[in-house]
A and B are shown apart, each in its own frame.
Chain A
Amino acid sequence: MEFLSGWFVPLLATVIVFGVVGAVLIVRAWPQAAQLSPEEREEMARAPMPALQKRAWWGLAIGGVTFMAITAILTTKGAAAYWENDDLRLFVVAIFLGGLFAYVAVVLLALVKEERDGSLDERDQAILRRAATAQSAAIIIALAAWLTALPKMFHSEGAVPVVYLYLMFGSVVLVHMIGQSVGILLGYWFAARHG
């Protein structure tokens, strides 16, 4: 348990304190949100899905597939193989860029459609703004996970291999993509139940 020394304990304590405070705030806020009646929910369910919600489902699908594909390759082949094998690295980078470009294409097409049809109203914009909170939280959690795992994995070596810098960057980009979609979908999920 040598890694439980130095800066690791304050970091872990900070993460736990923030987690507990966040959980308490959520629990305190939850009962204040009145539920929609079954009739009101049914009426909401009959309405067509807003353009922003459709965009979020696409973003989640693209981000999720890209993330799972890269994770599957890296866990089966290993980070060292990724760094040493040029073909494997190019393949992973191609998947990453493919996912990124597909996501950017979906967002750009949606923005053009929203601009043309005026399909992004003030409620959608409020949900989009709140989604940024989920996005930031997801990025901080991803970075905290890396900063917790890497020292634990490489503490005895005294240094972290360079390949993990690239993997951290790639994961943060994907978490950024997925985090916004999840935040938007949570916003609509909450609105469908509580207004």
Chain B
Amino acid sequence: MAKAEISNRIRRLRFDHDELTQQELAGRVGCTRQTIILLEQGRYVPSLALAFRIAQTFGLKVDEVFEYVGD
């Protein structure tokens, strides 16, 4: 799959939140560590539900975590 049209700040936000590990974040939002890795690499576009759960985990709005970079 080509790079997704949605970029995100998940890796940065993990470090800003007491260096949360990928596994811990995966456990909190209900997905696998592989999914978190691919999200951070920009190789996977999450569903709206997962995007909201990730944003809520960091106490942010969805558009503060994810950004649409396509045309």
Inter-chain contact A119/B43, CB cutoff 8 Å: no
Inter-chain contact B44/A121, CB cutoff 8 Å: no
Task: Provide the bound-state CA to CA distance between A33 and B41, in Å.
Answer: 15
Residues of A contacting B38 in the complex (Cβ-Cβ under 8 angstroms): 44, 123, 191, 195
- Known contacts A36-B41, A47-B37, A122-B47; decide if A195 and B1 are in contact (CB<8 Å): yes
Q: Bits for A24-44, please: 1 = Cβ < 8 Å to B, else 0.
A: 000000001110100010011
Nearest chain B CB to A40 CB, angstrom units: 5
**Closest Cβ neighbor of A48 among chain B residues:** B33
Tell me how many residues of A have a C-beta within 8 Å of chain B: 19
Task: Provide the bound-state CA to CA distance between A191 and B39, in Å.
Answer: 12
In the complex, B32 has a CB within 8 A of chain A: yes
- Sort A-B residue pairs by CB-CB distance and give the 9 closest, nearest first: A195-B43, A121-B31, A47-B33, A195-B1, A34-B2, A47-B34, A123-B35, A50-B32, A118-B30
Q: Which of B2, B31, B34 has the most CB of A within 10 A?
A: B34
Q: CB < 8 Å: which of B1, B41, B50 contacts A122?
A: B50
In the complex, B3 has a CB within 8 A of chain A: yes
Q: Bits for B12-51, please: 1 = Cβ < 8 Å to A, else 0.
A: 0000000000100000001111110110010110110110
Task: Provide the bound-state CA to CA distance between A39 and B44, in Å.
Answer: 16
**Closest Cβ neighbor of A194 among chain B residues:** B1
Residues of A contacting B33 in the complex (Cβ-Cβ under 8 angstroms): 47-48
Nearest chain B CB to A44 CB, angstrom units: 6
Residues of B contacting A194 in the complex (Cβ-Cβ under 8 angstroms): 1, 43
**Closest Cβ neighbor of B50 among chain A residues:** A122
Q: CB < 8 Å: which of B31, B43, B49 contacts A36?
A: B43
Task: Provide the bound-state CA to CA distance between A118 and B43, in Å.
Answer: 22
Task: Provide the bound-state CA to CA distance between A108 and B47, in Å.
Answer: 27
Q: CB < 8 Å: which of B1, B2, B32, B41 contacts A121?
A: B32
Nearest chain A CB to B49 CB, angstrom units: 8
Inter-chain contact B2/A123, CB cutoff 8 Å: no
Task: Provide the bound-state CA to CA distance between A34 and B3, in Å.
Answer: 8
